[in-house]
Structure 1
Amino acid sequence: MESELNQSIYLSKEVWAAEIKGWSITDCAVRSHSFLYICLRRDVSDEQASKMWDHDIPTKLFVLNLEKPGTTFGSRTLEGYNKPRIGVALKPLAQGLLVARNNDGQVSVLGGGGKFPDEFIDPGKVPVTYRIKTIDGFAYSVGGGRAIYKRTDIGKWTKVGEGFPQKDASSSQGFNDMDAFSANDMYAVGGHGDVWHFDGKAWKQMGFPSNVQLGTVTCAGDGKVYISGEGGSLWVGRESTWKSIYKGNASILWNDAAWFGGQLWLSSDYQFRVWNGSELLPVTHNGEPVSASGHMDVRDGLLGIASPTHVWTFDGQQWRTIVAPYLD
């Protein structure tokens, strides 16, 4: 499958050499079936890294037009972006968002037909963004200490905190991820078994049968909610009723989980799996393994997944290699 995927690389050698070579891909976000954003960090040696803070490493926000192979793209190189995460907003405009985990929650905005200034989620309040989620078209910053902000307009982020107790955050509290069936039916998870539900008015803590670290939550097309946690384990349920369906032994959490093509897909730094309703299986296509892993996003009928050197997409029928190294 790997050789089949690499037969035709979307990004031309010239663009790859100018924009990707010397950088590592750390995240991706699907805006639509036509536009894909990726986050890159400048490659540095272990010796260099030992003398630097994370925000000293240059960051790049890169967008590809998937309808015009190898020719249309945009990029922005950024300084001072600590542990950046990437996401998209569809309202009020379709745009890519790159968020720094710094004191202000600095956001670089790319797309939407103009040049937009940097935004700040909550100046001086350290939003600690772990993930950007898109719900009903609006972007949400999901962070530690149960910090959730909704981007209600260009340049405007509003805290969605009604129902959370006003006390100092601890490592046992979330959040790492959130998802929703609608803006009035949202779930957020993280910390150690910290699960909350939002009914459109306020957040309420849900019961959960484990106090392990939680990584992802998916409000799936089958009407169920899937939560992943420590070891790569999985639970399914809703509100305060949960059932363990898989006990993993991985050393790291799943990076991302998403519902696509009637199944739950999960990706980590070294695994790519699909839950078929009874088993967690390696992803295959036409009977061959798909050798992808890393960070994943799904939107508008397209799945994107990015490793440090490669980016792939899948539309339910065809896999495409979007970015790959040119070695000659």
Structure 2
Amino acid sequence: MEEIFDVPLWEKYISGYTFYDCAILSEYEFGFVLVEERDDDDDADTGPKTRFIAMKVDNPIDSRLTGSQTNAFSKTTIASSEQPRVYIAVDTGSKVHSIHSERKGDEKAIDRVLDMSTYNGMLGTIRKVVRAVGEVYAIGSFRKIYRRIDMNQWIELGSEGKGVPMPTDLTSPTDFVFTLGFNDMSAFAKNDMYAVGGDGDVWRFDGKKWHNCPIPTNASLETVCCAENGIVYITELNGSVWAGRTDQWEKIADANLTAGFHPVDAFWFNNRLYLGSQQGIFTIDEKKKKVVPLKEVEEDAPNPTNGGRIDISPDGRFMLTVGPYGACLHDGTKWRRLFSAFDFVEG
């Protein structure tokens, strides 16, 4: 594959920004969220700008990138959808941006499409946007899950009678903001989905209703992965990994990752669990039963400058990762660096 960027293209789309999250549709189609690099003396009244980039790297260089930017988004995550082929980015405040072949730009925020209020008028927040069984979901606080229907169209699962129950003894909503889910969701099928978050808050959807899955930890749960081997993997805030299903769980790997290094993505690829963070990729050393940097078990693994956040293509054949300054792709055989900011820095 030829170089994705030349200098003018890099200067136009990437210079002055770092990569925050990624999504993949195929070996040649990627979506990214970028955040403006800021100095300490920059205007504190306005947050850093957010930029959205879609790449189709098998196109000619003058037509392989599309992009747009805004300063209204914060902590934005991105996911891809095959039907239609589109990247959907959602921030914590429920603002939505989409990129597909026919259009790109902001859509109506989820809280403008439906009522996101929770208790006592509190507005829910979005923790992450994910693809599950081909559909895009926004995962929220207070166990709220929103499914994307189409452009400017979302539905909260509770309005279909498929919402996750809340505690019957809920008296002070503020006490439950961080103790209840959700931070992540994954699925084997539409009638076998898992969502996790809060303090040991694990739930399974059977196609009709959600069931609580007792897990022997009260730690904050960050990621969940329904793996091809039939096992569900769940990570704690410190990176420790639990494995199991329904009400049978076992801690299979210990970790003590510091804040900022904790997993925010989890995927099963090439018979291995990959844990993505903003500070690099981790996996399990099965002999040590510990979570370790991926480099310890894969010599060609990306370093934290061009690897961290991860996503798997819908067909399961490719894994994309992005760090603040570059991206890499795994084709099931080896890693290949796609691009790096250091290729465009003199000296």
The answer for the alignment partner of 1:64 in structure 2 is 55
Structure 1 residue ranges, 4+ long, deviating more than 6 angstroms after superposition: none
Structure 2 counterparts to residues 113-152 of structure 1, below 5 A: 113-114=102-103, 118-123=107-112, 125=116, 126-152=123-149
The 8 Å contact of residues 87 and 139 in structure 1, kept in 2 or not, is answered as yes
The C-alpha deviation readout for 1:205-243, integer Å capped at 9, x for no partner, is: 110100001110000000000000121100000011100
Confirm or deny that 1:206 pairs with 2:213: yes
The 8 Å contact of residues 302 and 328 in structure 2, kept in 1 or not, is answered as no
The C-alpha deviation readout for 1:255-301, integer Å capped at 9, x for no partner, is: 21101112111122333223365554543597445324321111131
Confirm or deny that 1:307 pairs with 2:323: yes
The answer for the alignment partner of 1:283 in structure 2 is 294
Letter in 2 for 1:302: F
Letter in 2 for 1:38: F
> Where in structure 1 are there 5+ consecutive unaligned residues?
1-6
- How far off its partner does 1:201 sit? 1.1
Structure 2 distance, partners of 1:265, 1:115, is 31
The 8 Å contact of residues 42 and 59 in structure 1, kept in 2 or not, is answered as yes
Letter in 1 for 2:294: V
The 8 Å contact of residues 121 and 127 in structure 1, kept in 2 or not, is answered as no
More deviation, 201-210/40-49: 40-49
The answer for the alignment partner of 1:165 in structure 2 is 166
1:52 to 33, 45, 51: 45
Q: TM-score when scaled to structure 2?
A: 0.84
Structure 2 counterparts to residues 1-328 of structure 1, below 5 A: 9-48=3-42, 51-52=44-45, 56-68=47-59, 70-71=61-62, 72-91=64-83, 93-102=84-93, 105-114=94-103, 118-123=107-112, 125=116, 126-161=123-158, 162-165=163-166, 167=170, 168=173, 169-252=176-259, 253-275=262-284, 278=287, 279=289, 280-284=291-295, 287-292=299-304, 293-299=307-313, 300=315, 301-325=317-341, 326-328=344-346
Q: TM-score when scaled to structure 1?
A: 0.89
CA gap 1:143/1:211 in 2 versus in 1, 3 angstroms: same
Letter in 2 for 1:95: V
- How far off its partner does 1:40 sit? 0.7
The C-alpha deviation readout for 1:133-184, integer Å capped at 9, x for no partner, is: 1122110001121110011233211111324127534310011100000111
**SS across alignment from 1:17:** helix
Structure 2 distance, partners of 1:58, 1:16, is 17
**SS across alignment from 1:47:** coil
Letter in 2 for 1:87: A
Structure 2 distance, partners of 1:26, 1:303, is 16
The answer for the alignment partner of 2:119 in structure 1 is none
- How far off its partner does 1:60 sit? 0.7
- How far off its partner does 1:117 sit? 5.7
- How far off its partner does 1:121 sit? 1.8
> Where in structure 2 are there 5+ consecutive unaligned residues?
117-122
More deviation, 114-123/31-40: 114-123
| RMSD of aligned residue pairs (Cα, Å) | 2.3
Structure 2 distance, partners of 1:225, 1:316, is 21
Letter in 1 for 2:107: D
| Larger relative contact order, structure 1 or 2 (CA cutoff 8 Å, min sep 6) | 1
The 8 Å contact of residues 11 and 322 in structure 1, kept in 2 or not, is answered as no
Letter in 1 for 2:77: R
The answer for the alignment partner of 2:120 in structure 1 is none
